[in-house]
Amino acid sequence: MRKSWLKKAFVCGIIMLFVGTSVVTGISRNIQNNELGNNEKSITKHFDAFITSDFENDLDGWSAIGDGVATWIESGGNPGGWMRIEDDVQDHYAWAKAPSKFLGDWESLGITYISADVEELSLNPYEPFDFEISGPGGTADYNSGIIPTTSWQIILAPLQESAWNITQGTWEDIISNVTEFLVDAEFNNGQEKVGIDNVILYNVPSIPVANFIFTPGTPLPNQTITFDASSSFAFGGYITLYEWDWNNDGTYEENHINPITTHSWTSEGNYSVTLRVTDNNSITDVITRIVVVHIPNIFYVGGSGHGNYTLHSGCCVLHIEGMSFLVIVLLVLTLRYLEVVATSYFD
């Protein structure tokens, strides 16, 4: 009795292996890795920039000092044009020097934040990004603690005394008469190329940054999707309102003080979802992500379906009834052979 049971189990196991292998190797997958990608955020600047250089048309008066050479590049910035600082000398320094429109009495102008987009085009950077301001009243530098990478990063520095290192003079004297504003372009002691874009001085009380993730990353129709905007924040303030536009038409269908909400769609498609956050100073920021609602493709061994494939919500189905006569004969012969082998092995 035990041998008969083992024989049947062996044959069934082989059958399952055959079916499983046949189906799995035939599956056509078209799944975007949103679980990874939707956590990334490139900060969008929807705030009122007070003084800015976006390098769309030229260097806008910027130059390189130290051992760097400044070149305007038409495309590949964040976005569009950008400034490249190329350093061919070792063991020295390179800075991007701002034009006169960035200089003056920052205290009276109400400057509250400085930002710049930076990209390291060389290997092995190990020094963090800095800003430096100076004038008759002294010198101060801001160490971001961020080591640039080969992707564009936005460095945002608050213009607050506690965030800067004053190497000479007093804070009040420095910001009341800024005669030199430098953006770091040296992150190792070797030859390197550094990209700089979108240098901005802000005179806003705070800067909110919208961000959200969603799970699952590849949802099905009618599946509840959780949208989490907890990673949104505000420099110099806090978020007070989260608004959701589920079809990116400019109308925000939901608004909450809680950063987490849910939504679903009834059919497949690529849906643009926009989040708008508002901070305690009534300043807003937005971000849009695409949610791909998709049913995986399922492989049919025979069967009618849609050609050789059909759509089904997440499971693989083997359709015996639609197999050709030859396939059925081969399957029967294979199973008969396996039964003979099992019989001789267990008996």
Q: Do domains 39-43+208-293 and 49-203 have the same CATH topology?
A: no
Which pLDDT tens digit goes with each residue over 315-347? 444 444 444 555 555 666 666 666 655 555 555
Mean pLDDT for 178-199 is 92
Position 126 scores a pLDDT of 85
Residues above pLDDT 70, as percent of the chain: 70
Position 73 scores a pLDDT of 97
CATH class of 49-203: mainly beta
Position 188 scores a pLDDT of 83
- Cα 21–chain centre separation: 36
What is the identity of the amino acid at 141?
A: D
Q: What is the DSSP string of 5-43?
A: HHHHHHHHHHHHHHHHHHHHTT-------HHHHTT----
Mean pLDDT for 183-211 is 89
Quickly state the pLDDT bin for 297 (edges 50, 70, 90).
low
Position 309 scores a pLDDT of 42
- pLDDT higher than threshold 70 for residue 107: yes
Position 199 scores a pLDDT of 96
Indicate the pairing of strand 254-256 with strand 225-228: unpaired
Distance between CA atoms of residues 214 and 38, nearest Å = 7
Q: What is the mean pLDDT of the chain?
A: 78
Mean pLDDT for 212-237 is 93
CA dihedral of 43, 44, 46, 47, whole degrees rounded to 10: 30
What residue ranges in 30-122 does DSSP mark as E strands?
49-53, 63-66, 68-73, 82-87, 94-97, 113-120
If you ran DSSP here, which 8-state letter would residue 125 be given? -
Quickly state the pLDDT bin for 190 (edges 50, 70, 90).
confident
Name the residue ranges covered by the structural domains of the chain: 2-29+297-346, 39-43+208-293, 49-203
Q: Which H or E run contains 311?
A: strand 309-311
Position 317 scores a pLDDT of 41
Which pLDDT tens digit goes with each residue over 242-276? 999 999 899 999 999 999 999 999 999 999 999 99
CATH class of 39-43+208-293: mainly beta
Closest among 300, 320, 324 to 311, alpha carbons compared = 300
- pLDDT higher than threshold 70 for residue 114: yes
